[in-house]
């Protein structure tokens, strides 16, 4: 069994061993850092993870592809829709399935709305951790409105499980467009308010400017992606690298900074929110009526409504859902790595399929898992109070880190 | 801006084929990348070549994971595999190296001195598959508790069937025993 005695390390002169987390208000989620400090200066830091290990990869081997979507909700639980979409895109690439146009537009819209929700929480929490409580109230109000929209669209606020292989669960509700446009307008003003409050705030700048600098070489060597990479001058965004969904038709920029400190990461997220708002405005114009599920009924579930109404769809639904080797989704015997841009970086799924309805192996390349290791190195030599400024700018989500 | 350059992927494949020669087991074309399968002993030289060759420049580490092919419908050279994904900012291409690791000797040279991101992903593969990375500076469990027994992502490890946690045998970790438990 676990015993504390094994962890007590040798005490050297004038240093104190300090443990932060796994349950600590500053350690978002269940992160734990063991540090050796001399005064306020951190000499050594080591992260300990795994407190939220759920075994998604093992569970996935015993679930069908559509059942696995409910597990992806629990990866990065601040933006479950991005995970749902990322996994659906991965399976569709494996099958060579192209969902209909309306489905792709809806997925793009929701992915960007979800990115807004994720970023708004992160920027709010960063300033809150540094003592500015107002910003999280502003951003929480916006996130709450977005969650109301997600509830109207998917039926749930957090565990959305919205996508299916080859389509989505439901069509958009009535009044979706007007609600989203109203949110975008207030979101824009909130982003402006945040810029006005923090870009010239001396206290905020002192805490974030120059703290936790990551160089471009470290970004590449550690495999850091997403806003963290773009804050260090690596312009890598999968929406541009290899556009999926309808991103190739949309006009948007990839904001990059070269400083690589906490402030740059904060600025990148705010700029990305602007870009997301732009994308949503463009995608709303592309929203046209049409089918939401792929018509390839050997691989995609039929519409739920037609399952109840016509014989054919009901048979296909039955063949897809029932367990057993003769039922379910039949995949080619191969393996494929496919990735999409989640709010925190590259969300990849490496699927090894064996031809049955369950995947042989699902590797989840969580962005947090690759983004987090450098944290210990950054802490070494910095002040103890920099811990919150650095960690909050990383936006590490334990669900995705431990999986 | 890093953008996928479709035409570059063929020259990468040709270069790797030229470098490996007979040692290349298979070469598979996937959606946007090539997957090269090699034996465990050749993996590190290939990845070093991919990173350090002046024309290739695969300096961006993307991912590394283990896989278990026990009773997989297609015959594989060995039971385990370590799959590494890299990207070249210079060429705008991804590449994947699949190194087969044998069941009898699940050992492979570490990449943590080539890519620092490999440090944790190798610990994860050790943790879940029991693949030992030779030369790794800190090879210990990362997701599971340090005194955990077994490698849960192996195909012969049951999903359920060990009973309640309270009935598990009590196991005392001995300090200083290192990664071999």
For residue A97, pLDDT over 60 is answered with yes
Nearest CA distance, B177 vs chain A (angstrom)? 11
Q: Do B159 and A62 touch (CB under 8 A)?
A: yes
Q: What is the pLDDT of residue A152?
A: 92
ipTM: 0.86
Q: Do B159 and A58 touch (CB under 8 A)?
A: yes
Cis, bond preceding A22 (omega within 30 deg of 0): yes
| Distance between CA atoms of residues B44 and B51, nearest Å | 10
Interval A196-244: pLDDT, tens: 988 888 888 988 888 889 999 999 999 999 999 999 999 999 999 989 9
Closest CA to A34 of A25, A24, A21, A50: A21
Closest CA to A113 of A161, A179, A206: A179
Q: Do A350 and B153 touch (CB under 8 A)?
A: no
Q: What is the pLDDT of residue B165?
A: 61
Mean local confidence (pLDDT), A85-96: 92
Nearest CA distance, A201 vs chain B (angstrom)? 31
| Distance between CA atoms of residues A127 and A204, nearest Å | 8
Q: Do B2 and A355 touch (CB under 8 A)?
A: no
What dotted CATH number matches B2-154? 3.30.460.80
Going edge to edge, which strands form the sheet with B60-68? B26-29, B33-39, B93-101, B80-88, B60-68
Check: CB of residue B87 under 8 Å from CB of residue B94: yes
Average pLDDT, chain A: 88
Q: Do B117 and A93 touch (CB under 8 A)?
A: no
Q: Which helix (H) or strand (E) holds A362?
A: strand A359-365
Q: What is the pLDDT of residue A186?
A: 92
For residue A100, pLDDT over 50 is answered with yes
Instruction: Give residue for tokens 């490890």.
Output: B157
Interval A109-157: pLDDT, tens: 999 999 999 999 999 888 888 888 888 899 999 999 999 999 999 989 8
Pick from A2, A254, A335: which is nearest to B1 by CB?
A254
pLDDT band with cut points at 50, 70 and 90 for residue A16: confident
Interval B98-152: pLDDT, tens: 999 998 888 999 999 999 999 999 999 999 998 999 999 988 889 988 888 888 8
Percent of chain A with pLDDT over 90: 43
Interval A173-198: pLDDT, tens: 998 999 999 999 999 999 999 999 88
Which CB contacts under 8 angstroms, 24+ apart, belong to A26-30?
Answer: A26/A129, A26/A387, A26/A388, A26/A391, A27/A391, A28/A125, A28/A391, A28/A392, A28/A395, A28/A396, A28/A397, A28/A398, A29/A396, A29/A397, A29/A398, A29/A399, A29/A401, A30/A398, A30/A402
> How many Cβ contacts (< 8 angstroms) between chains A and B?
132
Nearest CA distance, A240 vs chain B (angstrom)? 6
pLDDT band with cut points at 50, 70 and 90 for residue B181: very low
Q: What is the pLDDT of residue A403?
A: 85
Nearest CA distance, B3 vs chain A (angstrom)? 4
What dotted CATH number matches A64-295+327-371? 1.10.645.10
For residue A65, pLDDT over 50 is answered with yes
Q: Is the CA virtual torsion A335, B84, A363, A234 positive or negative?
A: negative
Q: From B60, which residue of chain A is nearest by alpha-carbon distance? A: A220
- Enumerate the residues of chain B whose CB falls inside 8 A of the CB of residue A220: 59-61, 89
For residue A22, pLDDT over 90 is answered with no
Interval A332-389: pLDDT, tens: 899 899 999 999 999 999 999 988 888 999 999 989 999 999 998 888 888 888 888 8
Pick from A61, A218, A333: which is nearest to B73 by CB?
A333
This prediction has a pTM of 0.90
pLDDT band with cut points at 50, 70 and 90 for residue B171: low
Which tokens go with B68? 């278990």
Q: What is the pLDDT of residue A357?
A: 85
| Distance between CA atoms of residues A386 and A377, nearest Å | 13
Q: From B120, which residue of chain A is nearest by alpha-carbon distance? A: A373
Closest CA to A84 of A106, A55, A62, A102: A106
Percent of chain A with pLDDT over 70: 97
Q: Do A223 and B124 touch (CB under 8 A)?
A: no
Closest CA to A102 of A313, A294, A321: A294
Domain spans in chain B, listed from the N-terminal domain onward: 2-154
Q: Give chain B's largest Cα–Cα span.
A: 58
């Amino acid at each position: 069994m676990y015993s504390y005695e094994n962890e007590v390390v040798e005490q050297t002169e004038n240093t104190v061993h300090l443990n932060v987390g796994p349950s600590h208000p500053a350690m978002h989620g269940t992160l734990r850092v063991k540090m050796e400090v001399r005064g306020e200066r951190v000499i050594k830091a080591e992260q300990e993870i795994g407190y939220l290990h759920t075994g998604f990869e093992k569970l996935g081997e015993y679930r069908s592809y559509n059942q696995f979507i409910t597990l992806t909700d629990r990866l990065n639980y601040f933006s479950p829709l991005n995970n749902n979409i990322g996994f659906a895109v991965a399976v569709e690439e494996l099958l060579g399935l192209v969902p209909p146009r309306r489905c792709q537009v809806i997925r793009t819209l929701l992915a960007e709305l979800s990115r807004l929700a994720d970023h708004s929480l992160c920027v709010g929490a960063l300033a809150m951790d540094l003592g500015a409580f107002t910003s999280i109230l502003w951003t929480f109000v916006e996130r709450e409105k977005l969650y109301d929209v997600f509830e109207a669209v998917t039926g749930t606020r957090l565990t959305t499980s919205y996508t299916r292989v080859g389509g989505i669960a439901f069509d958009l509700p009535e009044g979706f467009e007007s609600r989203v446009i109203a949110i975008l307008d207030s979101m824009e003003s909130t982003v402006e308010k945040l810029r006005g409050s923090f870009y010239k705030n001396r206290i905020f700048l002192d805490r974030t400017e120059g703290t936790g600098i990551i160089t471009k070489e470290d970004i590449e060597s550690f495999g850091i992606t997403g806003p963290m990479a773009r804050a260090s001058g690596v312009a890598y965004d999968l929406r541009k690298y290899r556009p999926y969904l309808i991103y190739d038709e949309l006009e948007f920029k990839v904001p990059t900074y070269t400083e690589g400190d906490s402030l740059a990461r904060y600025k990148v997220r705010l700029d990305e929110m602007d870009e997301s708002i732009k994308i949503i405005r463009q995608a709303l114009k592309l929203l046209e009526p049409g089918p939401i599920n792929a018509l390839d009924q050997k691989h995609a579930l039929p519409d739920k409504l037609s399952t109840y109404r016509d014989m054919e769809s009901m048979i296909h639904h039955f063949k897809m859902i029932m367990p057993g080797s003769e039922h379910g989704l039949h995949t080619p015997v191969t393996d494929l790595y496919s990735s999409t841009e989640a709010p925190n970086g590259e969300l990849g799924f490496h699927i090894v399929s064996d031809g049955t309805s369950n995947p042989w192996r699902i590797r989840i390349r969580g962005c947090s898992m690759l983004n987090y290791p450098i944290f210990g190195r950054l802490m070494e030599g910095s002040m103890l109070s920099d811990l919150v400024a650095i960690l909050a700018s990383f936006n590490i989500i334990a669900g995705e880190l431990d999986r | 801006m890093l953008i996928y350059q479709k035409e570059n992927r063929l020259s990468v494949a040709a270069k790797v084929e030229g470098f490996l020669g007979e040692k290349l087991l298979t070469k598979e074309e996937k959606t946007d990348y090539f997957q090269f399968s090699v034996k465990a002993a050749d993996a590190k030289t290939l990845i070093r070549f991919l990173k350090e060759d002046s024309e290739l420049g695969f300096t961006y580490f993307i991912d590394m994971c283990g896989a278990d092919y026990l009773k997989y419908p297609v015959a594989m050279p060995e039971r385990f595999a370590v799959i590494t994904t890299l990207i070249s900012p210079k060429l705008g291409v991804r590449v994947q190296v699949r190194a087969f690791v044998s069941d009898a000797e699940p050992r492979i040279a570490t990449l943590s001195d080539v890519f620092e991101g490999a440090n944790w992903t190798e610990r994860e593969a050790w943790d879940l598959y029991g693949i030992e990375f030779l030369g790794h500076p800190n090879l210990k469990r990362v997701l599971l508790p340090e005194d955990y027994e077994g490698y849960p992502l192996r195909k012969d490890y049951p999903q359920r069937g060990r009973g309640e946690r309270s009935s598990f045998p009590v196991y005392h970790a001995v300090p200083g025993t290192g990664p071999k438990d």
